[in-house]
Copies of this chain bind each other. A is one copy, B any other.
Amino acid sequence: MKLHVPIGLRWSDLDAYGHVNNAAMLRLLEEARIQAFWVNDDAEEAVGGTTAVLDGRPGADTLTLIARQEIEYLAQIPYLRQPLDVQLWLGRLGGASLEVCYEVWSPLGMEPRTLYSRAATTIVLVDAATQRPRRISDHERAAWTPYVDEPVQFAKRG
């Protein structure tokens, strides 16, 4: 199952060419990922509606470290008023790590639909006290399993 997270652009995401900067794209993916799978305020509920998600607040027991990222840029993104349709899912659910996969689409309702980017982020769960990787709990695994789907296929590896 894929989650659709609407992510609004900011004028400051544009670079000197008037398109979304390549590094700003990682901010957009980060924001979608956090909105989808993390608890960050007192709502204690993420976009997916599950309550067994990560607690990303400073002082939380678990840190989430980024181990790798891969992004393919398929089309340039202009400034858009309507939020991008960021689709994300889990390409892999390992012992202490998971892979978040993304497709960044043009805003819902804007035709024709354009796939701007595809990407993947590998995340390692780290115990904040010991600073060592810790296993995904049964609770987390049960909450995340519905979002496991085929890993994103990259077309441009050398």
Instruction: Give the bracket for the number of chain A residues in contact with chain B.
Output: 35 or more
> Given known contacts A30-B11, A31-B11, A58-B16, is B71 in contact with A69 (CB within 8 Å)?
yes
Interface pairs (22), CB distance under 8 Å: A10-B31, A11-B30, A11-B31, A11-B40, A12-B15, A12-B21, A12-B23, A16-B17, A16-B58, A17-B58, A17-B63, A18-B58, A22-B26, A23-B27, A41-B78, A41-B81, A65-B76, A67-B156, A68-B73, A70-B71, A91-B158, A99-B158
Other A-B pairs beyond A22-B66, A43-B81, A69-B71, 7, CB < 8 Å? A11-B34, A16-B17, A22-B30, A23-B30, A57-B79, A68-B72, A68-B157
Instruction: For A41, list chain B residues within 8 Å (CB).
Output: 78-81
Copies of this protein in the complex: 4
Instruction: For A58, list chain B residues within 8 Å (CB).
Output: 16-18
The answer, yes or no, to whether A133 is at the interface (CB within 8 Å) is: no
In the complex, the answer to whether A72 meets B76 with C-beta atoms within 8 Å is no
Instruction: For A40, list chain B residues within 8 Å (CB).
Output: 11, 79, 81
In the complex, the answer to whether B65 meets A68 with C-beta atoms within 8 Å is no
Instruction: Mark each residue of chain A from 43 to 55: 1 if its CB lies under 8 Å from any CB of chain B, else 0.
Output: 1000000000000
* Chain A stretch 70-95: residues in CB contact (< 8 A) with chain B: 70-73, 76, 78-81, 91-92
